[in-house]
Amino acid sequence: MDLRGTKVLVVGMARSGTAAVELLCSKGALVRATDLQPLEAALAERLRQWGVQFRLQTPEVFEDADWIVLSPGVPADLEPLEAARRRGVRVIGEVELAGYYLQGPVMGITGSNGKTTTTALAGHILRCCGIPAQVGGNIGAPAAGLAAASRPDQWNVLELSSFQLETIERFRARIAVGLNVTPDHLDRHRTFENYAAAKARLFETQSGEDYAVLNRDDPTCAAWGERARARVVWFSRRNAPVEGAYLEGGRLWLAGRPVIELDRIPMRGSHNVENTLAAATAAWLAGAPPEAIGEAVRSFPGVEHRLEFVRRIRGVDFYNDSKATNVDATLKALEAFQTPLWVILGGKDKDGDYRPLREPLARKARAALLIGAAAEKIAAQLGGAVPLIRAGTLEAALERAWREAVPGDTVLLAPACASFDQFRDFEHRGRVFKQWVARLAGEAEGKEENPHASGRAD
């Protein structure tokens, strides 16, 4: 794709937008950038060095562009974008742009929950099996940021969200993985059907030479399989497909061969069994031998902010699942624990329905600690099912849980909400959680050294 001299506007200057600007500049495009917020000083200086003009976002900014490239966080139906399309301007997303320049095959992984773990695990398996791979997309480096390091013999393993997929046109995954589809991001997509359709784009751009790895147990994924252009390979936790990955006799099987015992998978929860099935199937199709996949899974260190064990303080465990940004993810997190829970919920609502949390919280939680903008909505939908503590902030929630918890309890951050009301993103929220847990640990250790200090007693 020759973009030399093409006037391109990049909308949204978070990580993906910045990566798109850098890629476009390297290809000789005439680049401008815009965002609703002023730039931080370091990024402003980078743009200046690249010769890129930045302006705050107004309708006028969208004029005089041949192409417009959107960051995932920018809604694709903004009126200035619709007006640009009517003028004949090409409007694409950052992932579509990356697809023009990525060398080597793409493994694209989407779903409402489990994308990050499955993507990281698939990349880990490939590398353990000696198959070159780089990992990015909605995890780590943006897709556009991987283009420079891509090679014809290397897999590009990409986590892909509905925001990234709704704007693809020709972007093509050699192996596309569909994990599950449950309601999420309805504040942006408006309906579940729109949300599912955005994810389905990953399979609609495939050809008969490609593979679609799909969850046979999920109704939406099963429907995608019926109309897929690619060759469908199933994975299932509840059935035993003739081809693909499944469970039988306490083991994970792949193409009829045993891969790993369930109790050797180093991640909590039945949802992580599904993620392992999906990653193993995708890696096998990319060339990893089944006998080596099990060993690779056993050595997987897990993913930060995804049911991440932080530490134990005086018999109380702290887990960080900041990546649980919707109700279904929080349900899966609750399913992974048997010990009494102090669950931290809340943040920015995405038009979620929190009532499915009532029954598991009633069974497992000593209390739900509510934070952020969604606290009152969550309280209204959970009222009577579990004791509610309106903590307001993450710090206050942790402090209260720590005061009330007893040895054998678990404090779990699994918010069921986006983070943007109080944090930059879910990663920022998870890091802050871990920092406060470390502070609590320091205080606890200090009181053990000084037994006469006042404070929480064991």
* Residue 441 and residue 313 in contact, taking contact as beta carbons nearer than 8 Å: yes
The answer to whether residues 264 and 313 belong to one domain is: no
pLDDT of residue 187: 74
One digit per residue, the tens of pLDDT, for the chain of length 458 reads: 899 999 999 999 999 999 999 999 999 999 999 999 999 999 999 999 999 999 999 999 999 999 999 999 899 999 999 999 999 999 999 999 999 999 999 999 999 989 999 999 999 999 999 999 999 999 989 999 999 999 999 999 999 999 999 999 999 999 999 999 987 776 777 798 999 999 999 999 999 999 999 999 999 999 999 999 999 999 999 877 768 999 998 999 998 899 999 999 998 888 899 999 999 999 999 999 999 999 999 999 888 998 999 999 999 999 999 999 999 999 999 999 999 999 999 999 999 999 999 999 999 999 999 999 999 999 999 999 999 999 999 999 999 999 999 999 999 999 999 998 999 899 999 999 999 999 999 998 876 555 444 333 32
* Residue 166 and residue 323 in contact, taking contact as beta carbons nearer than 8 Å: no
Residues paired with residue 394 on neighbouring β-strands, in sequence order: none
pLDDT of residue 455: 35
From 27, 113, 115, 350, the catalytic residue? 115
The answer to whether residues 323 and 391 belong to one domain is: yes
Q: Is 138 in the active site?
A: yes
pLDDT of residue 449: 53
Of 298, 325, 345, the domain-final residue: 298
Output the DSSP codes for 279-341. HHHHHHHTT--HHHHHHHHHT----TTSSEEEEEETTEEEEE-TT--SHHHHHHHHHT--S-E
CA torsion 299-304-307-310 (nearest 10°) is 100
Backbone angles phi, psi at 318, to 5 degrees: -120, 125
Domain membership flag for residue 208:
yes
From 113, 138, 272, 275, the catalytic residue? 138
The domain of 385 spans 308-449
The answer to whether residues 74 and 129 belong to one domain is: no
Tokens 């007893």 belong to which residue?
406
Domain membership flag for residue 458:
no
Residues paired with residue 335 on neighbouring β-strands, in sequence order: none
Question: Considering the entire predicted model, what is its pTM?
Answer: 0.82
Vertex 115 angle, CA 114 and 121, to 5°: 90
pLDDT of residue 453: 40
pLDDT digits (tens, 9 = 90+) for 12-49: 999 999 999 999 999 999 999 999 999 999 999 999 99
Q: Tell how far CA 376 is from the center of its chain.
A: 26
Q: For residue 220, how many other CB atoms are within 10 A of its CB? A: 21
- Closest alpha carbon to 275 in 433, 446, 123, 47: 123
d(CA 297, CA 401): 34
d(CA 361, CA 367): 8
The answer to whether residues 132 and 281 belong to one domain is: yes
Domain membership flag for residue 2:
no
d(CA 67, CA 6): 7
The answer to whether residues 233 and 352 belong to one domain is: no
CATH number, domain of 79, equals 3.40.50.720
The answer to whether residues 283 and 327 belong to one domain is: no
Domain membership flag for residue 404:
yes
Backbone angles phi, psi at 374, to 5 degrees: -85, 5
pLDDT digits (tens, 9 = 90+) for 436-453: 999 999 998 876 555 444
Tokens 């053990």 belong to which residue?
448
The answer to whether residues 352 and 398 belong to one domain is: yes
d(CA 220, CA 177): 13
CATH number, domain of 388, equals 3.90.190.20
Domain membership flag for residue 386:
yes
The answer to whether residues 144 and 68 belong to one domain is: no
Q: Is 323 in the active site?
A: no
Of 93, 113, 134, the domain-final residue: 93
The answer to whether residues 347 and 431 belong to one domain is: yes
The answer to whether residues 130 and 57 belong to one domain is: no
pLDDT digits (tens, 9 = 90+) for 230-248: 999 999 998 777 689 999 9
Looking at the chain, the number of H-run helices and the number of E-run strands are 17, 20
Q: Is 428 in the active site?
A: no
Domain membership flag for residue 48:
yes
Of 266, 298, 330, the domain-final residue: 298
Q: Tell how far CA 440 is from the center of its chain.
A: 28
Domain membership flag for residue 226:
yes
Terminal alpha carbon distance of the chain: 65
CATH number, domain of 202, equals 3.40.1190.10
The answer to whether residues 246 and 147 belong to one domain is: yes
From 113, 124, 156, 185, the catalytic residue? 185
- For the chain, what is the domain count? 3
d(CA 330, CA 416): 6
The answer to whether residues 315 and 270 belong to one domain is: no
Backbone angles phi, psi at 390, to 5 degrees: -85, 90
Domain membership flag for residue 435:
yes
